[in-house]
């Protein structure tokens, strides 16, 4: 009796994706993330592939041994569990948002028919605009509705990549596309990398983009008074460090007098620890009463960026900030959950829309001025 080793190896991915592993060293943690992300964030497709491969194994007579049958049952249960966890995201996020109501409806037709991040026809991308002196590392893209709305809120996004890799048009695109289609102006920017750049350089790059929006954003329909900083993984860390150091001259060389404060911060699977063995760079140590509102969304099963660091940062900030601090830990979520139109990330985008709308409303309240 032959053993269908290829089939069994494929089943192993469903099991690993469903198991909640501890944070791993960077190499193994990244390997697990890359191996399981498609199963986790394309759950309907993953279940379909599992069903098709199991049917093929059955037709070929490979589902005859007790080991193979048990393996198929375990993997099938894990596939269903993964799908169920993804579909729980709307309720988990709404519970975290508290009184701020968000839509819990998911665009299931889009998730089923086109889960990949393809830019909608109504959204245009204006690519490779320069915002600083560092060549291609200081380029940004603008996403906006083709009708070119005016006085639009702005979302600035910085990609992850361990501060050493990545590019501006690869991550959180479902978020950028959705908001741009709804009338936002979205900016996705490159930034300088290690080892040539330091944390201070990263923060300067973030603030250069904010300054660019303040100076040039109106040319693209942006309202420079409504800016949200967002980031994935390392991008969350640098956005947070910049937002919690508003208007510091040492981080604004040559543009010291530009207002670089922001209306809110959104962290997606962020890294919330210290920067490369520099303990003084822990974002939690910068928690301050006048911090902007924060939305922190993390995968409970993240093997790259420790969920415990996200919880610790949220607790420290919530203890002192006068503004809302929302922290949600997504069941079954891994690192990089912002890549596809998955049930999980569509729910996150719903939360971002509701959270930022509340932040803008509070900011314009007569009881509150921009600088408290």
Which residues carry out catalysis? 233, 302, 335
Whether 331 contacts 128, CB under 8 Å = no
* CB-based burial label for 239 (10 Å; 0-12, 13-18, 19+): buried
DSSP annotation of 157 reads E
* CB-based burial label for 311 (10 Å; 0-12, 13-18, 19+): middle
CA proximity to 154, closest of 233, 266, 253, 257: 266
Distance of CA 126 to the CA centre of its chain: 22
- The three-class DSSP label of residue 167 is coil
- Going by C-beta distance under 8 Å and a sequence separation of 6 or more, which residues neighbour residue 245? 203, 251, 286
Query: How far apart are alpha carbons 160 and 281 in whole angstroms?
Result: 17
Whether 79 contacts 71, CB under 8 Å = no
The residue whose two tokens read 């060293």 is 25
- Going by C-beta distance under 8 Å and a sequence separation of 6 or more, which residues neighbour residue 328? 92, 93, 95, 96, 97, 295, 296, 297, 298, 351
Tally Cβ neighbours within 10 Å of residue 358: 20
What is the per-residue DSSP string for 63-76? Answer: --SHHHHHHHHHHH
Whether 258 contacts 295, CB under 8 Å = no
Whether 305 contacts 233, CB under 8 Å = yes
- Going by C-beta distance under 8 Å and a sequence separation of 6 or more, which residues neighbour residue 126? 141, 142, 143, 144, 220
């Amino acid at each position: 009796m032959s053993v269908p080793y290829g089939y069994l190896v494929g089943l192993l991915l469903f099991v690993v994706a469903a198991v909640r592993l501890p944070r791993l060293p960077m190499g193994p943690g990244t390997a697990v993330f890359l191996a399981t992300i498609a199963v986790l964030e394309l759950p309907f497709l993953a279940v379909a592939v599992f069903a098709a491969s199991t049917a093929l194994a059955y037709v070929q007579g490979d589902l005859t041994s007790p080991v193979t049958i048990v393996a198929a049952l375990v993997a099938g249960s894990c596939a269903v569990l993964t799908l169920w966890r993804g579909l729980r995201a709307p309720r988990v996020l709404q519970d975290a948002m508290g009184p701020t109501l968000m839509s819990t409806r998911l665009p299931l037709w889009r998730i089923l028919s086109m889960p990949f991040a393809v830019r909608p026809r109504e959204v245009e991308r204006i690519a490779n605009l320069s915002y600083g002196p560092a060549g291609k590392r200081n380029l940004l893209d603008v996403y906006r509705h083709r009708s070119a709305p005016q006085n639009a809120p702005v979302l600035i996004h910085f990609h992850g990549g361990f501060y050493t890799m990545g590019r501006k048009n690869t991550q959180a695109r479902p978020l950028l596309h959705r908001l741009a289609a709804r009338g936002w102006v979205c900016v996705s920017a490159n930034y300088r990398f290690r080892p040539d750049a330091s944390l201070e350089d990263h923060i300067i790059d973030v603030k250069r983009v904010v300054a660019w929006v303040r100076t040039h954003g109106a040319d693209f329909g942006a309202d420079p008074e409504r800016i949200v900083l967002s980031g994935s993984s390392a991008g969350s860390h640098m956005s947070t460090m910049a937002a919690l150091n508003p208007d510091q001259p040492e981080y604004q060389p040559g543009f010291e007098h530009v207002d670089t404060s922001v209306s809110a911060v959104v962290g997606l699977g962020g890294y919330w620890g210290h920067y490369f063995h520099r303990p003084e760079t822990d974002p939690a140590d910068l928690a301050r009463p006048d911090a902007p509102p924060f939305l922190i969304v993390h995968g409970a099963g993240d093997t790259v960026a420790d969920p415990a660091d996200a919880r610790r940062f949220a607790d420290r900030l919530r203890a002192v900030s006068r503004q809302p601090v929302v922290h949600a830990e997504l069941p079954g979520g891994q690192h990089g959950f912002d890549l596809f139109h998955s049930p999980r990330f569509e729910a996150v985008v719903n939360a971002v829309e509701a959270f930022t709308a509340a932040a803008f409303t509070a900011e314009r309240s007569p009881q509150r001025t921009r600088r408290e």
